[in-house]
Chains A and B, each alone.
Chain A
């Protein structure tokens, strides 16, 4: 089965119930390092980190040990969009050894619905070989989704003519000095550049997140380093906003990880209104729309 959007408690409950219902003798949990679960089950349990899946020391032993009395849990392992990635292939070998498989993922995909095929391959690899995503698969397989309540808005700050001109000059310089570099670095660098216009608008009583530590303020976290153990202490705004985004993460996965770990569901983006910020804002809205559309199509988890 595939379960999308469950909390740690819900995952625990489901795994425990599954073990009892099917008389499972051992549980193997494949997990990504940022999301190590801690299941309490009535049988033996072994945790294997995502990057270790491919290692020989696990590979042959697990092929021998996993059988129909075992449950394999794949926890938050959607880490690349490459469906034929070696780590996925090794996971398929383990999963093919038993009919008891539970796949947990917080978001249904990284970028779009095609990524869901990776999760479907976990359930039954050969069945979907070479096939693209189709809504029919949602009805054919045991997939349930728990929708995520979410609020997002952009707050524009005023930009003066001098700043707008500076932005244009920077943009031209980035294109002029591109050399052999990847052209996708231009929007990335521009997005960071406009952050300096946002700095004066950072309030001490609000929580922010940025791509790196250049703001040098205690209430600005980064996607690499954050600890939101008690985020509410900083939130005083009338809308109850969890966090304000200064820069979006460069990789979608980093942003998704931040949402998963922080539990933040009410977000604002501090935008300069300049084309680069408009682009990132629109990209995020489109992504969230794709997630919402998927939630609307899939069966809901009760």
Chain B
């Protein structure tokens, strides 16, 4: 049986509740670092944390992991946040080499952001105050999967491991993803703080605005007259639903659709990206195509999703990653429902398994069974 998460409304105001949570964090932890992405949620969290820091006359770290291939508006927002309250801010802006999945190209399935020797084609120059080398002991460095190499989550993990007894503040909201919230909130990370999780070396990750809805976020931004990424305005004007509107990286398997609108929103960023990474034009043209990157419809040349998957696997250009897929698919059921999802992983170059396959019997078979019984 699947247990369902449900929102329960209380009389408390989310803003006051978050301020109390932050006060508790400041009372218990000496070292506090707020993670920012340039998005609306981390903008709110950073402002709330800075207000508390200002009240207590303290400094907090403001951490931004720069993936290089991001909207220009994101960078503007990050600069704005880092300069919002300089006397209370300790900027931690990482700009060094790590691997990112490039969904748009098989030929260049991974992008090494800030790759050494390629500074002429970097999306932009590094910031003068940024941290340009890994600030931890290389011998102690951990890598989750050696096949994939040193990636985004490895940077986060090593950064956190290197900062003992620290409270890391993250702008995760439960309504963004109930399942993700369930995963992080299983066990309190400290005392009865069910809005925190335990990390290594006495550190914790805290989610002080976990109970905010999107309208709480926008109201706070409006009330506090905060600046926010222009991308939200572009998306809003374009008629996108308020729950679809989000700012993220431009390349990985969950955000490639951003490439479709990028030339319209930020033509200069698109131009630079074309020179920087392979496959960008394909992403722009086919990011929302049902028969291409959305993998919703079977191309006409194939009789089944299984046939299409076998073709994609056979012609997969990178032998190392091909092995990862083969090993993973060997554990799956052999049906059309599963094969369609496998095609999606192959098309989007998801060797990291960020879009996991629901390995279950084909629901179409259930529908046929239902109609047999009725008719």
Interface residues of A (CB under 8 A from B): 54, 59-60, 84, 86, 89-90, 93, 126, 129-130, 171, 175, 178, 180, 183-184, 186-187, 190, 275-276, 279
Contact = CB atoms under 8 A, between A and B. Distances in A.
Contact of B239 (A86, A130, A180, A190): A86
Given A129-B214, A180-B304, A183-B368, A89 B375 contact: no
Contact of A184 (B215, B240, B367, B372): B367
A178 B237 CA distance: 44
B375 A275 contact: yes
Contact of A186 (B7, B241, B375): B375
Interface of chain A: mostly helix, strand, loop or mixed: helix
Q: Interface of chain B, helix or strand or loop or mixed? A: loop
Given A129-B214, A129-B215, A175-B368, A93 B374 contact: no
28 contacts: A54-B239, A59-B237, A59-B239, A60-B237, A84-B243, A86-B239, A86-B240, A89-B239, A89-B241, A90-B239, A93-B239, A126-B215, A126-B242, A129-B215, A171-B375, A175-B368, A175-B371, A178-B368, A180-B298, A180-B303, A183-B367, A183-B368, A186-B368, A186-B371, A187-B374, A190-B375, A275-B375, A279-B374
B305 to A, nearest CB: 9
Contacts of B237: 59-60
B364 interface: yes
A86 B236 CA distance: 11
Closest 9 CB pairs of A and B: A183-B367, A84-B241, A183-B368, A126-B215, A90-B239, A89-B241, A275-B375, A186-B371, A279-B374
Given A60-B237, A187-B375, 9 more contacts: A59-B237, A84-B244, A171-B375, A180-B303, A184-B367, A186-B375, A190-B375, A275-B374, A279-B374
A180 B215 CA distance: 43
Nearest to B363: A183
A183 B362 CA distance: 12
B213 interface: yes
A42 B213 CA distance: 42
A250 to B, nearest CB: 15
Given A126-B215, A130-B175, A180-B304, A187 B371 contact: yes
Nearest to B370: A183
A101 to B, nearest CB: 18
Contacts of A175: 368, 371-372
